[in-house]
Every structure is written in C-alpha cells, then in structure tokens.
C-alpha cells in the first residue's frame, strides 16, 4: 500500500491533463479495516473528490496567490475538495516544491483535516486550539481532533458509546461562517479559513 509522503504529494500537485489514472482498486477493497469503503472506477462518480488547482478552475471560487485562499470544499452532495496548487505546501517539515522564493509554507495535513471537517458538515469553532478555528498561523501544525471537533461530528453522525469526552464550555459557531464554501485570507502570518 502506498504512503502519503512528500514524494507522492509532490506528484499529486503537478498539473494534470486528460483523465485521472484509474487503478485496479484492489488495495483498499482487500484491507479488512476498510471493508466499508466502496471502490469506484470513475473520478466523476466519487462522493468526495480531492484535487489541486491553480487560479480559476470552474467552481466559482478561483484560487488567487500563495497565502491567499488555501483550499475550499463543498459539502455533499457535491463533495468537492480543492487545494491551491500555487501554495508552498509542507508535509512533515518538507516543502513539496521548491519555489523561486519561499516566504513561508503551509502544513498540508492541517488544512486537509480542517477542510475534511467542513465536508462532514462542521463550521468554525471559536476556540483557537481546535482544528476548526477560523485561522491557522503559517508554519503551524494542527491535526489532532479536540473535543469540539469530536462532539460536532458525533452530533451529526452519532457517537461512539465507548468514548468518554470531558465537559468543556459550550461550542459557539461564528455567524459569518458559511458551511458550504470557505474563503481564505492571509494577514500578518495568520491564515483565515
């Protein structure tokens, strides 16, 4: 089974021409831990599609420039998840491409976890330490789910009856958040998702 490492992601963000590669889809279906995953042979039939794009890519949310809009998602049934391929993405401390001038980089996994939670239906949190907080400082890494993230998902999809979650202050969702589309702005080393 492949690994999501620097080399793989660097290959993924290269511009694509024509159709996406379709393999035999056997690695997922043969894994006992992923037996609930249905393999498909068409990118267009997937419930969630993940892609790297640059500039205007036809969904009404064009990417702008590095440290502008990093990524955006559209909830089901659309299920689109787009990264800006012009960003200086970092995975496990390594840059995925070597731009002519590196001002700063953004942790790919942190943005992915945040956007996946939007795909699942969550809005932003008012607690800075949570994945769903509306900003991410450059060079920051935020991938561990906190109580806010877990209870939000459980309120939508049901909870795990074997897990105990400590009581924390109530979750307050900022009224300016739109759950179906996110815009990102960078100001003074803070990225607003």
- DSSP for 160-176? -TT------SPP---TT
| Nearest-angstrom CA–CA distance, 100 and 180 | 34
| Nearest-angstrom CA–CA distance, 115 and 25 | 25
| Residue owning tokens 């991938």 | 143
Ramachandran angles phi, psi of 185, nearest 5°: -130, 140
- Among the options 87, 90, 92, 115, which is catalytic? 115
| Residue owning tokens 């806010």 | 148
Nearest to 168 by CA among 148, 145, 142: 148
Q: Which residues is 107 bridged to in the sheet?
A: 90
115 in active site: yes
| Nearest-angstrom CA–CA distance, 148 and 154 | 10
Tokens of 158: 């049901």
Q: Are 116 and 132 in contact (CB under 8 A)?
A: no
Burial label for 28, CB within 10 Å (0-12, 13-18, 19+), is middle
Query: What residues are labeled active site?
Result: 115
């Amino acid at each position: 089974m492949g690994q999501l490492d620097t080399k793989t992601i660097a290959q993924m963000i290269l511009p694509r021409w024509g159709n996406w590669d379709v393999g035999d889809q056997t690695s997922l279906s043969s894994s006992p831990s992923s037996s609930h995953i249905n393999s498909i042979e068409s990118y267009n039939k997937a419930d969630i599609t993940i892609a790297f794009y640059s500039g205007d890519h036809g969904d009404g949310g064009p990417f702008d420039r590095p440290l502008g809009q990093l990524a955006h998602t559209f909830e089901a049934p659309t299920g689109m998840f787009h990264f800006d391929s012009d960003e200086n993405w970092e995975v496990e401390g390594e840059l995925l491409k070597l731009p002519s001038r590196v001002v700063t980089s953004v942790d790919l996994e942190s943005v992915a976890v945040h956007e996946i939670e939007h795909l699942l239906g969550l809005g932003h949190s008012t607690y800075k330490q949570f994945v769903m907080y509306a900003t991410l400082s450059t060079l920051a890494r935020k991938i561990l789910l906190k109580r806010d993230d877990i209870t939000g998902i459980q309120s939508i999809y049901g909870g795990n009856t074997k897990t105990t979650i400590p009581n924390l202050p109530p979750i307050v969702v900022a009224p300016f958040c739109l759950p179906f589309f996110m815009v990102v702005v960078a100001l003074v080393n803070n990225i607003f998702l």
